[in-house]
């Protein structure tokens, strides 16, 4: 493994760890300070609320916990595969770190409680979500940008 490949793995791992720790820390604070359904205004249309869901990102597609755990494990394997195959692509470690950290953050919730803790609410008809959901969404967008740029190059 080259120095550039090792660097990509280390950076992806560090970002993944940071997302996981921050996500779990915020969830712990919200769980300790809010009761389900309570709303706290933060900034403009953004607020906090304590909510739990059994679905995937943004509370969509609720269902059995085991298939969602399996899906998270498969997603982690897939982003690891992408990093292994493309570790020298500029920015790939960002996408991998965000998706992996977000997937692990929600996976920890599912393994611990059978559901995911959500806490970010926007004043718009959209379900509450959490930092892990944001990391996954941004990570997938970064993947798309990287691979679209690669196809054009």
User: Any idea which residues carry the catalytic annotation?
Assistant: 118, 133
CB 55 within 8 A of CB 62: yes
Cα dist from 137 to 5, 11, 41, 112, 125, whole Å: 24, 19, 23, 23, 18
Nearest one of 44, 42, 62, 43 to 52, comparing CA atoms: 62
DSSP string, 36-63: BT-EEEEETTEEEEEEEESSSGGG-S--
Please give the Cα distance from 90 to 24 (Å, whole number).
28
Taking a C-beta distance cutoff of 8 angstroms, is the pair 56, 68 a contact? yes
Beta carbons within 10 angstroms of residue 110's beta carbon: 16
């Amino acid at each position: 493994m080259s120095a550039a490949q090792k660097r990509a793995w280390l950076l992806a791992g560090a970002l993944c760890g940071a997302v996981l720790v921050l996500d779990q820390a915020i969830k712990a604070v919200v769980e300790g300070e809010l009761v389900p359904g309570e709303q706290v205004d933060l900034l403009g249309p953004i607020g906090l609320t304590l909510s739990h869901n059994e679905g995937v990102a943004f509370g969509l597609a609720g269902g059995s916990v085991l298939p969602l755990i399996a899906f998270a494990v498969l997603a982690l394997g897939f982003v690891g595969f992408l990093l292994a195959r493309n570790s020298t692509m500029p920015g790939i470690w960002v996408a991998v770190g965000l998706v992996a950290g977000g997937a692990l953050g929600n996976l920890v919730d599912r393994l611990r409680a059978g559901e995911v803790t959500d806490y970010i609410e926007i004043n718009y008809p959209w379900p509450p979500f959490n930092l892990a959901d944001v990391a996954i969404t941004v990570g997938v967008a970064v993947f798309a940008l990287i691979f679209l740029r690669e196809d054009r190059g």
